[in-house]
C-alpha cells in the first residue's frame, strides 16, 4: 500500500472550513484514498473515500488532485465535536491489503 504523509497537527476556528491535506505520491492506479477519524480514544470512524473523482457526503468533501498524488479532506463548518485525529489511508483491493493507519493529523477546533 502507498504511504501517506499528513501534517501532525492543525487548528481551525469553529464554524470555519477545516482543510486537511494528505500526500500520497506513490499511489497506484487501483488504490483508493480513505479518511477515518478518531475522537479521543474512541474507535475510529469512517468519513469518506474516493478513487479519482471528488466526493461529498453528509460529513465531508474529498478533493483528489488530477495526478492523484495528494488529496484534501474538507469539513465545511467545523464544530468543537470535530476535534479528533484524522487519518488518511491509501488502500488497494488486492488480497491482503488492509487499512494501514499512520500517525494522522490532530485537528483542534477552537471556539
Q: Nearest Cα to 47, choosing from 91, 82, 21, 2?
A: 82
> What b/e sequence results for 15-36 when a residue is b if at least 16 CB atoms lie within 10 Å of its CB, and e otherwise?
eeebebebbbeebeeebebbbb
Q: Are 15 and 23 in contact (CB under 8 A)?
A: no
102 binds other proteins, rule: CB under 8 A: yes
Min dist CB 106 to other proteins, Å, is 12
Instruction: Using the minimum distance from each CB to other proteins, give the nearer residue, 29 or 96.
Output: 96
Q: For the window 64-93, what string marks contact with other proteins as x by the rule CB under 8 A?
A: -----------------------x-----x
Identify the residue among 29, 41, 66, 81 touching other proteins (CB under 8 A).
Answer: 41
Min dist CB 103 to other proteins, Å, is 6
Cell 494522522 belongs to 104
Q: How far is 64 from 72, CA to CA, in rounded Å? A: 7
Min dist CB 53 to other proteins, Å, is 15
Which stretches of the chain bind other proteins, using CB under 8 A?
Answer: 32, 34, 38, 41-46, 49, 87, 93, 95-96, 98-103
Amino acid at each position: 500500500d502507498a504511504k501517506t504523509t499528513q501534517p501532525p497537527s492543525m487548528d481551525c476556528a469553529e464554524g470555519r472550513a477545516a482543510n486537511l491535506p494528505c500526500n500520497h505520491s506513490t499511489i497506484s492506479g487501483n488504490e483508493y484514498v480513505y479518511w477515518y477519524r478518531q475522537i479521543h480514544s474512541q474507535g475510529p470512524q469512517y468519513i469518506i473515500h474516493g478513487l479519482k473523482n471528488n466526493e461529498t457526503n453528509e460529513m465531508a468533501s474529498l478533493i483528489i488532485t488530477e495526478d492523484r498524488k495528494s488529496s484534501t479532506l474538507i469539513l465545511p463548518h467545523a464544530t468543537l465535536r470535530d476535534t479528533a485525529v484524522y487519518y488518511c489511508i491509501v488502500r488497494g483491493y488486492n488480497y491482503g491489503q488492509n487499512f494501514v493507519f499512520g500517525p494522522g493529523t490532530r485537528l483542534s477546533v477552537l471556539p
